[in-house]
């Protein structure tokens, strides 16, 4: 196995080392002469985290971050019983040049290591919240975190949260937004980390890897021609918008024609998950872009699905997910209206659902909004209705009847006509409430 180079960067040791491990390395050791401690990563299955360096060249990693560090330490048999816990990271570590002779070695895993009890030191959630620690970023030919400038197009409701997580993780961004004030606000929050460009073409020209998060199909159609014109060989586009599969395929083809590369990466999640780095990415497209962006996608999300090189499959999955979500929320909205029509408290309905089998994050998040009739936009209703429409079009393509989704789409259309388009999609409840008032 060839030696892989690591360089010290910011801000968290755990994040990058574990990311490196999840890409399939068998064992990686950072010598203690580099930062005053040794880090060992042994990968037998996915999602193992770096944890301990033991005597005699033995190394162990962890699989289950919920297992207590002390509960298994004394039960381990020789030679693993000689393992000693080490600090996970140390503040104020000195940078290490990629050309340094003290680069990590790739070692063979100890025989039978993966059959021994595994120890946990820290959960991923807590590690991602850590502040001020040194991090490692992989600099390999196989990718994982692209080098060079990174561009971000669109910092609205979703794009802002995504960009914030990249910036907090140490990325510097070239940013363009149709409303320049939003980009300038981001630059004020991260002085020296955000460069606001005068045009979308400038982002593309100065960046190697470009993320795009535009809110609508119309916005994409308005902006993409400028992106395409500025594309040159080797540029990489990751489009995170929710568009039709046909639109994504068109952009991928146009990008490839310019000898650039394209990955569709629509997200499941709204404003809160975007800000918390808890998005779900549904990707398809160029494998090189997938590898180059995977580190960033891990920072911005909790899971990335890859559906192969056929662009459009990620968007189709997104439509299916959002169709189910839209129908579920509309069913809840109709239940609220029906309960209220019979004088039953909506709060009691909410509590009943929370305590039963139908409890879900959707109920917990949107129930209070429906009861209070206050709908600050986490996912605008007009966008939810757009996705319902796209899903119905998919059904038409294959002759599949989607009656529940079709009926829900009509309710979202009514709510839009009532002026709730820019509100959160929980405002679909107002369409059912209006019908109840008409019939009372």
CA 189/CA 180 separation, integer angstroms? 15
Q: What is the reported pLDDT for 4?
A: 32
Would you state the structure tokens that stand for residue 372, as one six-digit string? 């209070």
Topology of the domain covering 150-311: Rossmann fold (3.40.50)
- The dihedral region occupied by 201, where left means phi > 0, alpha psi between -120 and 50, and beta the remainder, is alpha
Q: What is the reported pLDDT for 27?
A: 34
Residues belonging to the active site = 318
Q: What is the reported pLDDT for 148?
A: 64
pTM value surpassing 0.75: no
* Phi, psi (degrees; rounded to nearest 5) at 83: -65, 140
Confidence of residue 435 (pLDDT cuts 50, 70, 90): confident
Average pLDDT of span 8-32: 38
* Lowest mean pLDDT across 79-83, 143-147, 416-420: 79-83
Would you state the structure tokens that stand for residue 198, as one six-digit string? 């005068």
| Residue among 170, 164, 239 at smallest CA distance from 200 | 239
Q: What is the reported pLDDT for 96?
A: 29
Give the number of other CB atoms < 10 A from CB of residue 256.
15
Average pLDDT of span 379-405: 96
Average pLDDT of span 215-239: 96
Q: Which CATH number fits domain 320-439: 1.10.1040.10, 3.80.30.20, 1.10.3720.10, 1.20.1510.10?
A: 1.10.1040.10
Give the number of other CB atoms < 10 A from CB of residue 129.
10
Where do the domains of the chain lie?
6-138, 150-311, 320-439
Confidence of residue 289 (pLDDT cuts 50, 70, 90): very high
Q: What is the reported pLDDT for 53?
A: 36
Q: Whole-angstrom distance between the N-terminal and C-terminal Cα of the chain?
A: 74
* Lowest mean pLDDT across 101-110, 162-171, 292-301: 101-110
Strands 194-196 and 173-176: what pairing? parallel
Higher-confidence residue of 291 and 73: namely: 291
pLDDT for 320-345, tens place per residue?
999 999 999 999 999 999 999 999 99
């Amino acid at each position: 196995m060839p030696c892989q180079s690591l360089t010290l960067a910011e801000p968290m040791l755990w994040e990058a080392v574990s990311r490196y491990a999840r890409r399939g390395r068998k064992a990686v050791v950072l010598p203690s002469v580099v930062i005053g401690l040794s880090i060992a990563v042994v990968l037998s299955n996915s999602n193992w985290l770096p944890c301990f360096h033991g005597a005699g060249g033995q190394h162990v990693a962890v699989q289950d971050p919920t297992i207590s560090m002390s509960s298994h330490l004394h039960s381990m048999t020789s030679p693993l019983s000689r393992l000693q816990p080490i600090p996970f990271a140390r503040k104020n570590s000195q940078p290490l040049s990629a050309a340094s002779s003290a680069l990590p070695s790739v070692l063979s895993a100890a025989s039978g290591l993966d059959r021994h009890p595994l120890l946990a030191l820290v959960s991923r959630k807590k590690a991602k919240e850590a502040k001020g620690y040194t991090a490692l970023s992989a600099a390999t030919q196989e990718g994982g975190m692209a080098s060079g400038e990174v561009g971000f197009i669109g910092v609205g409701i979703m794009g802002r949260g995504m960009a914030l997580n990249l910036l907090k993780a140490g990325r510097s961004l070239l940013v363009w937004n149709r409303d320049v004030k939003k980009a300038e606000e981001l630059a004020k929050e991260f002085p020296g980390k955000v460069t606001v460009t005068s045009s979308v073409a400038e982002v593309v020209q100065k960046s190697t890897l470009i993320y795009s998060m535009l809110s609508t199909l119309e916005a994409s159609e308005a902006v993409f021609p400028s992106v395409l014109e500025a594309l040159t060989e080797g540029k990489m586009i990751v489009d995170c918008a929710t568009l039709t599969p046909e639109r994504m395929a068109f952009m991928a083809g146009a990008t490839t024609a310019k000898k650039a590369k394209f990955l569709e990466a629509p997200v499941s999640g709204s404003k809160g998950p975007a800000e918390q780095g808890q998005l779900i990415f549904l990707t398809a497209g160029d494998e090189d872009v997938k590898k180059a962006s995977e580190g960033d996608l891990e920072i911005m999300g909790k899971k990335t699905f890859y559906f192969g090189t056929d662009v459009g499959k990620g968007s189709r999955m997104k439509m299916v997910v959002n169709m189910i979500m839209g129908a579920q929320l509309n069913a809840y909205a109709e239940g609220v209206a029906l309960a209220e029509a019979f004088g039953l408290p909506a709060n009691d309905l909410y509590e009943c659902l929370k305590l039963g089998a139908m409890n879900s994050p959707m109920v917990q998040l949107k129930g209070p909004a429906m009861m209070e009739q206050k709908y600050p936009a986490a996912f605008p209703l007009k966008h939810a209705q757009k996705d319902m429409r796209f899903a119905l079009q998919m059904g038409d393509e294959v002759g599949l009847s989607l009656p529940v989704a079709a009926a829900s789409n009509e309710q979202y259309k009514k709510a839009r006509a009532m002026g709730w388009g820019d509100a959160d999609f929980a405002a679909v409840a107002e369409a059912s409430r209006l019908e109840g008032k008409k019939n009372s």
